[in-house]
A and B are shown apart, each in its own frame.
Chain A
Amino acid sequence: MAEENTVPKEQLTPFERLEIIRNKNRPTIRDYIPMIFTDFYEMHGDRLFGDDGAVLGGIGRFKNMPVTVIAEVKGRDIYENKSANFAMPHPEGYRKAIRLARQAEKFHRPVICFIDTPGAFCGVEAEKRGQGEAIARSLAEFMTLRTPVISVVLGEGGSGGALALGVCDELAMLENAIYSVISPRGFASILWRDASREKEACNIMKITAADAVHLGVAERIIAEPPGGAHNDPETTAENISEFLANSLNNKIGKDIDVLLNGRYNKFRKIGAFTE
C-alpha cells in the first residue's frame, strides 16, 4: 500500500538528492508514460500562439480509466532538450496546460500533472507573451477546476514554473525529488551573491520531499529504488502507479465542492504568522 512508500528508505542530505535527480539517466516523463498509461495520445498547442515542447499534454488510460496527463518534459539527450527547452516552459506551455485541464473538466476526466522543471523560462519572448500572467492564470484555473487533480514531482520542482502544475488535491514527490522557491544556485546568488555556495543553500532551504510533507505542501512520498529512480525505472513507475491508483480511488466520486474546498484549504492554511 501507499503507506509503505511514504517512508523514505535512504538517509541522504538534500545535496546528495540533488545530485541523484541530476543524474543524466534519471527517467523522464517520456520514459514513464508507456509504463503507467495505455492508449496515450499526445495533444499539442495552446490554440493562442503555438506549441511548447517543455510541456507535454495528452489523454490516455490509467488502469482503464480515461485521464488527462500534463507534464513538464526533461530531455534525455541534446535533441530532446532542444525541443523541450531543458524543461523550462514558455507562457504557451502553461496555456496549453490550462486548455487541456478545462477539456478534462468538460469530459469528467481526472487530471494528472507531473512536475519536473528548473523553473519557467526567463527570456525576452517569455516576458512579451506574459510569463507572469500565464502562471497566475494557471494557479487560478487549477484552483477552480471541477475535476480531481493529482500532481507528482518527478525530479526538480523549481519555483512558480513548477507550482503552475502543482495546484492540486494531492501532491506526491518522488523520494529524491526537490521542491523549492528558487534553485539552490539562484538562492545562493541572490542571498549571498555567490552562486558557488549552492551546496550550502541546498542544505538549509528545506527542499526535500520530507520537508515538503512537513510544511504541508506535499501529502505523499513515493519510494525510489536504492541509489535513485535511474537504477530501476520499472519499479519506480510501479510505485507511481500505486500512488495514483490510491489517490484517484479517494477522489473519484467525491462531491466536487467538497474536493474544491479541500484543495483551496490545503493552500489556504500554509503560512507562519502571529496576530
Chain B
Amino acid sequence: MLEDLFKMVTARWGGDDDDNSPPVPQTALFKCPRCSGSCDNEALERNMWVCPECGYHSRISAADRLAITCDSGSFMEYDKDMAGQNPIDFPDYEDKIRSLQEKTGLTEAVITGECTIHGEKCIIGVMDSHFMMASMGSVVGEKITRAFERAAEKRLPLILFTASGGARMQEGLVSLMQMAKTSGAAARLAQAGGLYITVLTDPTTGGVTASFASLGDIIIAEPKVLVGFAGRRVIEGTIRQRLPEDFQSAEFLQENGFVDMICERRNMRRTLAHLIRLHRPGQRMGGET
C-alpha cells in the first residue's frame, strides 16, 4: 500500500528538484493555517506544499517527503511490517491503531529505510504526523533505534526528518522509555563516528525534542516550523499570559542556539547531499581518497 503511494508520488515528482509535474485535476483548496491565504492543491503541490503566500512549510506525508528527498526509485524500506501492540492494555488502543492504519495507509508513525540523495547513499527516517501526531510508541522507538544501529553497522550517514506530538500516552512508561532507547542509540552512533543529521519539521515537540531530535551532529529546521519541549498552552497556563507568535519557531530556536541552519524545502535535497559529501571519509584530513 505504501509502496503504491510512494510510486504514485514519485511518478508525479520524478524525484527531481525542478520537476514540472503533470496536471492532476483537483478542485480542493488549501487554506494556509499561518496566513489564511488560499491556493489550489495543485499549485501547493508544485510548490512542494509550501504556502506560496507566506512560505509556511506545511505538514506533508512521509511518502511525499521521501518522494521529494530521495533519488527516484532509490528508497528501500526497512522493517516495513512492524506494527504496534498494547503494552499497558490501554482500552481501545488496538482499535485506534487499526482504524488509523486503514485511514492513512501507514502501519505506524515513522518510515525508515535506505536511499540515495543526489547519488549519496544514506539511511533515512521520516515521521508522519498524520499517524497519531507521530507520537513515539514502541514502533517509532524501535525503528528509529534500528536506524541508528544500522547507520553504525553499515557506516552510512543517517538523516531523520522529525515530527511529533511527543510521547504515545497509550503506551505509558513503555513510551517514555523509547526516549532513553533512541538517545542511547544516537550516543552509540556518535561514538562510532557516524554522521547524524536531524531535520526538524512541523511540529517537533515533547519527548522527541527531548531525545533523538536534539542530538544531531547537524540540526536543520524548515522555516517557521514549531519546535519545543512543552506545549504552548501548558506554558501559557503556567505564566498566565499569551506567548508571542514566533515562540518555539525554528527561528526562535536558532536565535537561542539550538538549530544550525534553517533550510527551505526546495533546497533541502541539495543541502543534505552537500553535507553528506563534506563528511565523506576521503574528505577528512588524513583520510584515504
Q: Smallest CB-CB separation from A190: which chain B residue? A: B169
B172 and A180 form a contact (CB under 8 A): yes
Are A124 and B141 in touch, CB under 8 angstroms?
no
B180 touching A143, Cβ below 8 Å: yes
* Interface-lining segment among B33-41, B55-63, B87-95, B270-278: B87-95
A217 within 8 A of B: yes
B207 contacts A by Cβ under 8 Å? yes
B5 at interface, CB cutoff 8 A: no
Which one, B138, B183, B229, contacts A127 given CB within 8 A? B229
Asked if B172 and A205 make an inter-chain contact with CB atoms under 8 angstroms apart, the answer reads: yes
In the complex, which residues of chain A have a beta carbon less than 8 angstroms from the beta carbon of B190?
140
Contact B179 A273 (CB under 8 A): no
Closest B residue by C-beta to A128: B256
9 example contacts (A-B, Cβ-Cβ < 8 A) are as follows A122-B230, A122-B238, A130-B214, A139-B210, A143-B183, A180-B173, A215-B177, A267-B184, A273-B82
Residues B173 and A215 in contact, CB atoms below 8 Å apart: yes
Do A123 and B238 touch (CB < 8 A)? yes
Does B187 lie at the interface of the complex (its beta carbon under 8 Å from any beta carbon of A)?
yes
Query: Among B84, B86, B188, B230, which residue has the most Cβ atoms of chain A within 10 A?
Result: B230
- Residues on B with C-beta less than 8 A from A180 are 172-173, 176
Q: Which residue of B lies closest to A168 (CB)?
A: B180
**Which of A128, A133, A190, A217 is the one whose CB lies under 8 Å from B177?**
A217
Q: Which of chain B's residues have a CB closer than 8 A to the CB of A139?
A: 179-180, 183-184, 187, 210-211
Separation of A159 and B136 alpha carbons in the complex (Å): 13
Contact of B228 with A by CB under 8 A? yes
Q: CA separation between A160 and B180, bound complex, in Å?
A: 9
Q: How many residues of A contact B (CB 8 A)?
A: 50
CA distance A160 to B177 in the complex (A): 9
Known contacts: A166-B180, A182-B169. The answer to whether A130 contacts B256 by CB under 8 A is: yes
Q: Does B235 contact A123, Cβ atoms closer than 8 Å?
A: yes
Indicate if A114 sits at the interface (CB-CB under 8 A): no
B174 touches A274 (CB 8 A): no
Stretch with Cβ within 8 A of B (4 or more), from A32-40, A72-80, A101-109, A206-214: A206-214
Partner of B181, one of A141, A191, A270: A270
CA distance A206 to B185 in the complex (A): 26
Find the residue from A127, A135, A163 having the highest chain B CB count within 10 A.
A127
Chain B residues near A47 (CB, 8 Å)? none
Name which residue of chain B comes closest to A206, CB basis: B88
How far, in whole Å, are A136 and B239 apart by their CA atoms in the complex?
A: 25
Interface residues in A260-275 by Cβ distance below 8 A to B read 263-264, 267-268, 270-275
Query: Which of chain B's residues 77-110 have a Cβ closer than 8 Å to chain A?
Result: 79, 81-91
How far, in whole Å, are A205 and B171 apart by their CA atoms in the complex? 9
Chain B, range 245-268, C-beta contacts under 8 Å to A:
247-248, 256-258
Q: Which residues of B contact A (CB under 8 A)?
A: 79, 81-91, 138-139, 141-142, 145, 167, 169-181, 183-188, 190-191, 206-207, 209-215, 228-231, 234-235, 238-239, 243, 247-248, 256-258
Contacting residue for A144 out of B83, B85, B191, CB 8 A: B191
State the Cβ distance, A192 to closest chain B Cβ, in Å.
Answer: 11
Query: Given the known A-B contacts A131-B230, A267-B180, are A273 and B85 also in contact in the complex, defined by CB atoms under 8 Å?
Result: yes
CB distance from B83 to the nearest CB of A (A): 5
Contact, CB under 8 Å: A127 / B247:
yes
Complex CA distance for A131 and B206, rounded to whole angstroms? 10
The interface residues of chain A lying within 8 Å CB-to-CB of B238 are: 122-123
Q: List residues of chain B with CB within 8 A of the CB of A271.
A: 87, 138-139, 141-142, 174, 177-178, 181
Whether A204 pairs with B85 at a CB distance below 8 angstroms is no
Contact at B187–A141, with CB atoms within 8 Å? yes
Report the separation of the CA atoms of residues A130 and B234 in the bound assembly, to the nearest whole angstrom: 16
Residues of chain A contacted by B215 (CB below 8 angstroms): 136-137, 140
Residues of chain A within 8 A (CB-CB) of B82 are 273-275
B200 to chain A, nearest CB (A): 10
Q: Is the CB of B177 within 8 A of A270?
A: yes
Q: How far is the CA of A132 from the CA of B164 in the complex (A)?
A: 13
Let me know if A254 is at the binding interface, CB within 8 A: no
Query: Do A181 and B173 touch across chains, with their CB atoms under 8 A apart?
Result: yes
Contact A143 B257 (CB under 8 A): no
Evaluate contact between A181 and B176: CB separation under 8 angstroms. yes
A207 CB contacts on chain B under 8 angstroms: 172-173
Besides the known contacts A132-B210, A137-B215, 13 further A-B residue pairs in the complex with CB atoms under 8 A apart: A120-B230, A122-B229, A127-B230, A131-B210, A133-B209, A137-B214, A141-B187, A167-B183, A191-B170, A217-B173, A273-B85, A273-B142, A275-B81
Q: Are B184 and A167 in contact (CB under 8 A)?
A: yes
Q: Encode contact with B along A116-153: 1 for CB under 8 Å, 0 otherwise.
A: 00001011101111111101110111011000000000
In the complex, chain A residues whose CB is within 8 Å of the CB of B181? 267-268, 270-271
Q: What is the CB-to-nearest-CB distance from B158 to chain A, in angstroms, rounded to a whole number?
A: 15
Taking CB as reference atom, which chain A residue is nearest B145?
A268
Tell me if A163 and B258 are in contact (CB < 8 A): no
Q: Is B167 a contact partner of A272 (Cβ separation < 8 A)?
A: no
